Amino acid sequence: MEKKTLKVEGMSCGHCVKAVTEALSAINGVADVNVSLEDGEVFFSHDSALAPLETIRAAIIEEGFKVPA
Amino acid sequence: MEKKTLKVEGMSCGHCVKAVTEALSAINGVADVNVSLEDGEVFFSHDSALAPLETIRAAIIEEGFKVPA
Protein backbone atom coordinates (compact mmCIF):
# COMPACT_ATOMS: atom_id res chain seq x y z
CA MET A 1 0.00 0.00 0.00
CA GLU A 2 1.24 3.42 -1.02
CA LYS A 3 0.12 6.72 0.54
CA LYS A 4 -1.17 9.38 -1.85
CA THR A 5 -2.81 12.79 -1.83
CA LEU A 6 -4.96 14.21 -4.62
CA LYS A 7 -6.33 17.70 -5.04
CA VAL A 8 -10.11 17.70 -5.50
CA GLU A 9 -11.92 20.78 -6.75
CA GLY A 10 -15.59 21.51 -6.15
CA MET A 11 -16.22 20.06 -2.71
CA SER A 12 -18.37 22.56 -0.85
CA CYS A 13 -19.88 20.74 2.11
CA GLY A 14 -19.99 17.66 4.27
CA HIS A 15 -22.14 15.84 1.73
CA CYS A 16 -19.35 16.26 -0.83
CA VAL A 17 -16.81 14.93 1.65
CA LYS A 18 -19.05 11.91 2.25
CA ALA A 19 -19.53 11.31 -1.48
CA VAL A 20 -15.77 11.27 -2.15
CA THR A 21 -15.00 9.23 0.96
CA GLU A 22 -17.60 6.59 0.11
CA ALA A 23 -16.67 6.42 -3.57
CA LEU A 24 -12.99 5.79 -2.83
CA SER A 25 -13.60 3.48 0.12
CA ALA A 26 -15.72 1.27 -2.16
CA ILE A 27 -12.75 0.60 -4.49
CA ASN A 28 -10.94 -2.66 -3.89
CA GLY A 29 -7.32 -1.81 -3.07
CA VAL A 30 -8.02 1.58 -1.50
CA ALA A 31 -7.89 2.15 2.28
CA ASP A 32 -7.63 4.89 4.91
CA VAL A 33 -9.54 7.50 2.95
CA ASN A 34 -9.60 10.95 4.53
CA VAL A 35 -10.88 14.15 2.98
CA SER A 36 -10.00 17.72 3.91
CA LEU A 37 -12.82 20.01 2.85
CA GLU A 38 -10.79 23.10 3.81
CA ASP A 39 -7.79 22.16 1.71
CA GLY A 40 -9.71 20.41 -1.08
CA GLU A 41 -7.63 17.27 -0.74
CA VAL A 42 -8.16 13.56 -0.37
CA PHE A 43 -5.62 11.34 1.40
CA PHE A 44 -5.61 7.57 0.98
CA SER A 45 -3.51 4.46 0.70
CA HIS A 46 -3.75 2.30 -2.39
CA ASP A 47 -2.40 -0.83 -3.96
CA SER A 48 -1.49 0.48 -7.40
CA ALA A 49 -1.95 -2.95 -9.00
CA LEU A 50 -5.52 -3.35 -7.71
CA ALA A 51 -6.45 0.33 -7.74
CA PRO A 52 -4.35 2.41 -10.11
CA LEU A 53 -4.43 6.17 -9.68
CA GLU A 54 -6.46 6.53 -12.87
CA THR A 55 -9.28 4.44 -11.36
CA ILE A 56 -9.28 6.62 -8.27
CA ARG A 57 -9.28 9.86 -10.27
CA ALA A 58 -12.16 8.52 -12.39
CA ALA A 59 -14.20 7.67 -9.28
CA ILE A 60 -13.83 11.22 -7.95
CA ILE A 61 -14.75 12.74 -11.32
CA GLU A 62 -17.75 10.38 -11.49
CA GLU A 63 -19.02 12.02 -8.28
CA GLY A 64 -18.98 15.39 -10.01
CA PHE A 65 -15.67 16.86 -8.87
CA LYS A 66 -12.51 17.91 -10.67
CA VAL A 67 -9.08 16.40 -10.13
CA PRO A 68 -6.47 18.76 -11.59
CA ALA A 69 -3.57 16.94 -13.28
CA MET B 1 -52.88 21.28 0.05
CA GLU B 2 -51.37 24.71 0.47
CA LYS B 3 -48.38 26.05 -1.44
CA LYS B 4 -45.48 27.39 0.61
CA THR B 5 -41.94 28.69 0.22
CA LEU B 6 -39.28 28.64 2.92
CA LYS B 7 -35.85 30.23 2.95
CA VAL B 8 -33.10 27.69 3.65
CA GLU B 9 -29.59 28.80 4.58
CA GLY B 10 -26.46 26.71 4.11
CA MET B 11 -27.19 24.74 0.95
CA SER B 12 -24.01 24.77 -1.11
CA CYS B 13 -24.32 21.98 -3.65
CA GLY B 14 -26.49 19.42 -5.35
CA HIS B 15 -26.08 17.00 -2.44
CA CYS B 16 -27.65 19.61 -0.15
CA VAL B 17 -30.54 20.05 -2.58
CA LYS B 18 -31.05 16.29 -2.60
CA ALA B 19 -30.92 16.07 1.21
CA VAL B 20 -33.62 18.72 1.63
CA THR B 21 -35.75 17.35 -1.21
CA GLU B 22 -35.66 13.82 0.18
CA ALA B 23 -36.26 14.88 3.77
CA LEU B 24 -39.38 16.85 2.90
CA SER B 25 -40.69 14.37 0.35
CA ALA B 26 -40.58 11.68 3.05
CA ILE B 27 -43.06 13.59 5.24
CA ASN B 28 -46.66 12.44 4.98
CA GLY B 29 -48.73 15.41 3.82
CA VAL B 30 -45.94 17.10 1.83
CA ALA B 31 -45.82 17.05 -1.99
CA ASP B 32 -44.26 18.77 -5.00
CA VAL B 33 -40.98 19.61 -3.30
CA ASN B 34 -38.62 21.79 -5.34
CA VAL B 35 -35.41 23.39 -4.17
CA SER B 36 -33.64 26.39 -5.66
CA LEU B 37 -29.96 26.24 -4.74
CA GLU B 38 -29.33 29.67 -6.27
CA ASP B 39 -32.06 31.39 -4.25
CA GLY B 40 -31.74 29.24 -1.13
CA GLU B 41 -35.42 28.39 -1.16
CA VAL B 42 -37.63 25.33 -0.97
CA PHE B 43 -41.08 25.24 -2.57
CA PHE B 44 -43.67 22.64 -1.61
CA SER B 45 -47.32 21.93 -1.05
CA HIS B 46 -48.48 20.68 2.34
CA ASP B 47 -51.54 19.65 4.23
CA SER B 48 -51.11 21.70 7.38
CA ALA B 49 -53.09 19.20 9.48
CA LEU B 50 -50.86 16.25 8.49
CA ALA B 51 -47.64 18.22 8.06
CA PRO B 52 -47.60 21.51 9.98
CA LEU B 53 -44.96 24.05 9.02
CA GLU B 54 -43.09 23.38 12.27
CA THR B 55 -42.58 19.73 11.25
CA ILE B 56 -41.22 20.81 7.89
CA ARG B 57 -38.87 23.38 9.40
CA ALA B 58 -37.61 20.78 11.88
CA ALA B 59 -36.89 18.31 9.05
CA ILE B 60 -34.77 20.90 7.23
CA ILE B 61 -32.89 21.83 10.40
CA GLU B 62 -32.34 18.12 11.10
CA GLU B 63 -30.46 17.93 7.77
CA GLY B 64 -28.06 20.60 9.02
CA PHE B 65 -29.49 23.76 7.45
CA LYS B 66 -30.97 26.94 8.89
CA VAL B 67 -34.50 28.16 8.34
CA PRO B 68 -34.68 31.84 9.27
CA ALA B 69 -37.95 32.80 10.98
For chain B, report the end-to-end CA distance as a whole number of angstroms: 22
CA dist., res. A7 & res. A20, Å (int): 12
* Chain A residues touching residue B38 (CB < 8 angstroms): none
Q: What is the pLDDT of residues A48-61, one digit of tens each?
A: 999 999 999 999 99
Residue A55 CB burial class (10 angstroms; 0-12, 13-18, ≥19) = middle
Question: What is the residue-level pLDDT of chain B in tens, covering all 69 positions?
Answer: 999 999 999 999 999 999 999 999 999 999 999 999 999 999 999 999 999 999 999 999 999 999 998
Q: Which helix (H) or strand (E) holds A31?
A: strand A30-36
ipTM exceeding cut-off 0.90 for this assembly: no
Q: How many CB atoms lie within 10 A of CB B62?
A: 10
pTM: 0.83
Q: What is the pLDDT of residues B37-52, one digit of tens each?
A: 999 999 999 999 999 9
Task: Tell whether B36 is within 8 A of chain A (Cβ).
Answer: no
* Chain B residues touching residue A12 (CB < 8 angstroms): 12-13
